[in-house]
Amino acid sequence: MSTNVTSIFNSFQDYLNTEQELREEIRTIVKEIEQSAREILMVLQNIHNENVSEENTIVSEHCTKARCLFEDVRKGYAKLAAVVPENQYYRFHEHWRFVTQRLCFLASLTIYLEVKILVHKDTVAELLGVKSNREEGFHLDLEDFLMGLLQLSSELCRFAVNSVTSGDYDRPIEISRFVNELNAGFRLLNLKNDSLRKRFDALKYDVKKIEEVVYDLSIRGLKPAVPPAPVDSK
Name, in order, each residue with C-beta under 8 angstroms of 161's C-beta and a sequence gap of 6 or more: 172, 209, 213
CB neighbours (10 Å) of residue 68? 11
Tell me whether residue 232 is in a domain.
no
Name, in order, each residue with C-beta under 8 angstroms of 52's C-beta and a sequence gap of 6 or more: 163, 166, 167, 168
pLDDT, tens digit, for every residue of 119-176?
A: 999 999 999 999 999 999 999 999 999 999 999 999 999 999 999 988 889 999 999 9
pLDDT band at 232 (very low <50, low <70, confident <90, very high): low
Predicted TM-score (pTM) of the model is 0.88
Looking at residues 7-11, what average pLDDT do you find? 81
Examine the pLDDT at 230 and tell me if it is beyond 60.
Answer: no
Nearest to 84 by CA among 142, 16, 148, 29: 29
Predicted pLDDT at 209: 95
Give CA–CA dist 219/163, Å, rounded. 17
Share of the chain above pLDDT 70, in %: 93
Tell me whether residue 211 is in a domain.
yes
Q: How many domains does the chain have?
A: 1
Tell me whether residue 228 is in a domain.
no
Give CA–CA dist 64/43, Å, rounded. 10
Nearest to 159 by CA among 201, 108, 194, 197: 108
Is 155 annotated in some ligand binding site? Answer: yes
The CATH number for 87's domain is 1.20.58.190
Across 169-200, b (16+ Cβ under 10 Å) vs e yields bbbbbbbbbbbeebbeebeeeeeeeeebeebb
Looking at residues 205-218, what average pLDDT do you find? 94
C-alpha distances out from residue 100 to 72, 179, 194, Å: 14, 22, 18
Domain limits for position 64: 3-219
Nearest to 210 by CA among 178, 186, 184: 178
Tell me whether residue 40 is in a domain.
yes
Examine the pLDDT at 184 and tell me if it is beyond 60.
Answer: yes
pLDDT band at 1 (very low <50, low <70, confident <90, very high): low
Give CA–CA dist 48/32, Å, rounded. 26
Tell me whether residue 233 is in a domain.
no
Taking only Cα atoms into account, the Rg of the chain, rounded to an integer number of angstroms, comes to 22
What does the mean pLDDT of the chain come to?
Answer: 90
Tell me whether residue 225 is in a domain.
no
Tell me whether residue 230 is in a domain.
no
Give CA–CA dist 99/187, Å, rounded. 25
Tell me whether residue 173 is in a domain.
yes
Nearest to 31 by CA among 69, 80, 70: 80
